[in-house]
Chain A
Amino acid sequence: MPNPHPRKSGQAIIFLMVVMVIGLLAVVWNFDLHRVISAKLRMRNAGDSAAMAAARWQGHSLNMIGDLNLIQAAILSLAYEEYQDALSEWEDAGGEASGEPEPEFEDYYDLAEMEALHELRLRIEFVGPLAGFAVAQQTAFNNGALPDPRLAANLVDFAADLRDEVARQPYDNAFDEYADLLDMLVFRGVAVSSYSLRLRNHPLTNEEFYGAIAQALADWWCPMYAYRDEMENYEDFESWTKLDTEFRYNFMFDLQLDEFTMTLSTDGYDIPNSAMLDGDDYTEEFGDFITSNEVIEAFGSSGFAFEGMLEALDVEWHVYNNSWARPWPRPAEYDDETNPRRLKPLAIHSRVKTKYNYLGAVSGISMSAEVGRGILASSDNETVDLSYRAKAKPFGFLNLDAGQEPPHYFGFVFPAFEEVRLVHFDIGNKVLSGVFYEHVTRHLESYLDRGPEATNPQCSYCQLLVKWEELNFQDGLEWLERAYNDDRNNPCDPEDDGYDPVWGDAGGGATGGS
């Protein structure tokens, strides 16, 4: 006989269990989120410390090169003193009438010794930053960085390219030795990269183009205004202008130096291009500086250092290249009506001190790692891709009688670098993220040859190129036309409505927080 009052209390237990499972999932979800954020924070610390360590080595390398320049000047100073004595004796003996040949300055120093010093400087210039690259790896690992196998593969490729490189080498076997050191680093594990390529101006090698595609996908076409021509003329992947895919690498943490030989011209002596002075000012101040230098004085004779440097016309020196003479970007200043908008300002809060207002050597790093999504991941392959970029820079100045001046004040490299600080990522040469580097060097060629079907499905930039093919360009062009025909309410060029008076003309001018 059926029970007219069936028991219902069991249903609540089922619901309670559902609630408990959802509660547990919420806890695990938070745990996973915390894990990802912790990994991001660790990567920030590791990246910053690696950039600082590399910059410290840049400073050490520059100081060592500067010391060798000073030692060379000291040797030439001693030689010039001997030469002067010999010249006096020759003149006292009657000069030409004595029948003895007139003493020549180059006979009083050993050119081979000068060349040995020069090669030593070249080796420091080339390998010193690579040592910084190695130190950056160790520093990053000490701060919790994870090894990056894709970076290791890229470095092996780079080493192989270097071995095939036919360009002039700074010294014999330089590229082979560099490649061997890179291979050794890869063997020990790497986490920090410093991808830097000399890219030509082409939409496909410009990260902003990919951002514009993403915005167009969300029906926001403003950034595509810069690519109107491409939208109007694009038919398929063969419409792209062909790209030179033989990319030139920049070496890691390049010190931005040149080799220099003193030459005589009709105006006098040629001085390094990066020097901040010219003419009599240069001669006077440089003479005072070099003859009163402690290192040169320690060698026993400093009085002739200036003459020795000027007149040793077959001796090479290390000088700063023109990048040292480039100042930092102007700060976007509040209510600064004099700021010319043609020059993109950097959104920093004030100007750079004169003694530090140079670019030159900057150590830029980028890191990337894949972190498992955690307990709630549906498979082991489900990862969160973390990336971080940072830059640091060696800072120094020359102490002169008149005050403190930038290191490149005289153009010659002298030991000056005592400090290292983090700088914003937009300072100095561009460093690419690993993902974009791989996209440009590996994926673009096959895309340009065979179209979107040949792109890498794991590459986010490739995916955006696939989406680019799917965009309705006609709609986009009409959208832009409507926007730019509306003078009063153009969403792509909005007028400041005064909502943010606190910031004034604070500018945009910085690609990110680091």
Chain B
Amino acid sequence: MALLCLILFGILQVSYVVAARNVINYAAVATARAASVGLNDFMLYKVSHYAAIPAAGPIYTPQGFTGERPEGESAGALFSNALSRKKTPRSSIGQYEVANAQTYHLSSTAEYNTILDYDNWQREETDIHFTVEEDDKLDLLHVTIEQNIPLVLPFSRAFFSHLNTVKAERNGEDGTYPAKLIRAKATIEDHAKLYLIGTRD
């Protein structure tokens, strides 16, 4: 029976990693598209993070004055809420995430993490990181996104502990979890190069 439980959670954990890979791939494309029209690094940060919300873990803000999180399912539980504008998001959090896409993107450096923030973004080692390389000869941009996804389901140590471990927050408490590094690359034409002065550097 214990073996079957191990297999069950193993399947769920692998499934989560595959889904997260899909999401990070999408985030790479979204970030590359944003870079191609000349958005600055702060915007790329927000675009890469918003596109990868489904792999961000439970929501961290808004918490209001009381410090209590809004009721509803966590972002990780409802991937499709964050992937698209649904007519009827199933939870208040889903509705919040979708309705605030524009507000989040418009926010300043002092505001953005008061609008949307998630457990995986709290620590450098589980946050999303992006790099943009310019290919001057071909006018291309190569964008790489990577994130250490903490694997928090029961028995995950049995499958992933040999990869690496990270400290991550879960529901306000620190813990050490095995992690899977997911890296995605996207290449796109540098449209802004025609009309903007200078380069990203």
Residues of A within 8 A of B (CB): 12, 15-16, 19, 22-23, 26-27, 29-30, 33-34, 36-37, 40-41, 44, 48, 207-208, 210-215, 217-220, 222-223, 331-332, 347-353, 356, 373, 383-387, 395, 419, 421-424, 435, 458-460, 463-464, 479, 482-483, 491, 494-497, 500, 502-503, 505-514
**Pair B86/A22 contact, Cβ less than 8 Å:** no
For the complex, would chain A's binding face be called helix, strand, loop or mixed by DSSP majority?
mixed
Residues of B within 8 A of A (CB): 1, 4, 7-8, 11-12, 14-15, 18-19, 22-23, 25-26, 29-31, 33-34, 36-43, 45, 47, 50-51, 62, 64-66, 70, 79-80, 83-88, 92-93, 95-96, 98-103, 105-112, 114-115, 191-192, 194-200
Q: Which residues of A contact B98 (CB under 8 A)?
A: 214, 460
**Pair A508/B195 contact, Cβ less than 8 Å:** no
Q: Which residues of A contact B101 (CB under 8 A)?
A: 512
Q: Cα distance A126–B19 when bound, in Å?
A: 47
**Pair A500/B109 contact, Cβ less than 8 Å:** yes
Q: Which of B14, B22, B95, B99 has the most CB of A within 10 A?
A: B99
Q: Which residues of A contact B111 (CB under 8 A)?
A: 494, 508
Q: Which residues of A contact B29 (CB under 8 A)?
A: 41, 44
Q: Which residues of B contact A33 (CB under 8 A)?
A: 19, 22, 79-80, 83
- B122–chain A nearest beta-carbon distance, Å: 12
Q: Which residues of A contact B198 (CB under 8 A)?
A: 349-351
**Pair B84/A40 contact, Cβ less than 8 Å:** yes
Closest to A392 in B: B191
Q: Which residues of B contact A16 (CB under 8 A)?
A: 4
- A311–chain B nearest beta-carbon distance, Å: 37
Given contacts A19-B11, A513-B39, are A36 and B83 in contact (CB under 8 A)? yes
**Pair B40/A347 contact, Cβ less than 8 Å:** yes
Q: Cα distance A300–B22 when bound, in Å?
A: 64
Q: Which residues of A contact B106 (CB under 8 A)?
A: 508-511
**Pair B42/A347 contact, Cβ less than 8 Å:** yes
**Pair B109/A513 contact, Cβ less than 8 Å:** no
Q: What 4 A-B pairs are tightest by C-beta distance, nearest first?
A: A214-B99, A506-B42, A26-B15, A513-B47
Q: Which residues of B contact A217 (CB under 8 A)?
A: 70, 92, 95-96
Closest to A29 in B: B15
Q: Which residues of A contact B65 (CB under 8 A)?
A: 479, 482-483, 491
Q: Cα distance A455–B11 when bound, in Å?
A: 44
Q: Which residues of B contact A506 (CB under 8 A)?
A: 40-43, 108-109
- A225–chain B nearest beta-carbon distance, Å: 13
Q: Cα distance A356–B156 when bound, in Å?
A: 55
